[in-house]
A and B are shown apart, each in its own frame.
Chain A
Amino acid sequence: MSEGTTKQFLYVNRKAPHGTVYALESLEVVLIGAAFEQDVRLAFLDDGVFQLMKGQDTTGIGTKNFAPTYKALGDYDVNKIYVEKESLDERGLTEDDLMPLTYEDEDDDWAEKSSIKIVSRAEMADLIDSSDVMFNF
C-alpha cells in the first residue's frame, strides 16, 4: 500500500484510566495520529468506558488528569467515538454518565454535534472487522 493511502484506523480502548498508563498513552497516540489524515475511529469497550466518565478528579492521587483532553478530540477532527452499550450496562452506566464529546460539523454550517455513538456488541464486532489497522494498548 502506498503512503498516500487512507486507512481505517481503529483505536481499541479496553482498559480503565489511572490504575495503569495505557489510557493516557493511547490518547497521546490518537493526538499525534490525528495529523496523519487517516480515517480515525475510537472504540471504548470493557473497562475502557471508564476513561470517558464525567467528574474525574485526580487531585488526590497526584497524577495528571487527562480526562479533559478527550473533550479536545473534536478539534483534532477525531469525532467517531464508539462506546459499547453492553460494557456500559455491565457497569451500571448510561451515556449520561459520560463526558459530552462534541465536534463542529463543517458540512452542516459548523453545527455542534456529539462525537459519541453508542453501539451494540455486534456493531463493535463489525467495526473491528471493517478496520485496516487496530491499535491496542
Chain B
Amino acid sequence: MREINIYTSFFIMIIALAICIGSLKLSIYTPRGPGPGFMSFGTGGILFLLSFHLFLKSLFSRTEGGAKDAYPKNIKTTSLILSALMFYALFLEKLGFILDSFLVFSFLFAISRTMKWYASIACSLSLALGSYVLFSVFLGIGLPRGMLNFFR
C-alpha cells in the first residue's frame, strides 16, 4: 500500500494547491465576514495538510505489499463500459430515451457475452421499452423522445 499512498497523496496535494489557487480569484474575506472563496480556500488548505501528512507518513513507513489489488485488472471491459455510458449521456437527447437505451444495452449485453445476439437485442429492446413505460407512463417523468417525438 506504501507505493499507492505515495502516488495518491502526491496527486491530492496537487489538487489541493489548484483549489487554493482557484479560490484566490474569489474574495476570501470581506469586512462583513467570510467571502465566497473562504470555504474553498480553507478546505484546499486542509486537504493539502492532510495529503502532505499522508505523503510523509507513507514515505517513511516500511510496510510493503498489498498494492496488487490497487491496479486495474481488466482495463478493456472497464473502458468499454465507461465509453458506453458516455455515449449514453451524449446522445440521450438526440436519439431519445428508447433508442439510446436500446443501443447502449445491446452493446452492454454484447460485451458481457451471455446471450445469443437475437436474445440480447430482444432483451434490450424490452428493457428500453419497459423502463420507458415504468418511468414515463407510470411515474410520469418526461423522458426525452428525441427522434421518436411524433408519437405520444
Our verdict on whether A and B bind, yes or no, reads no
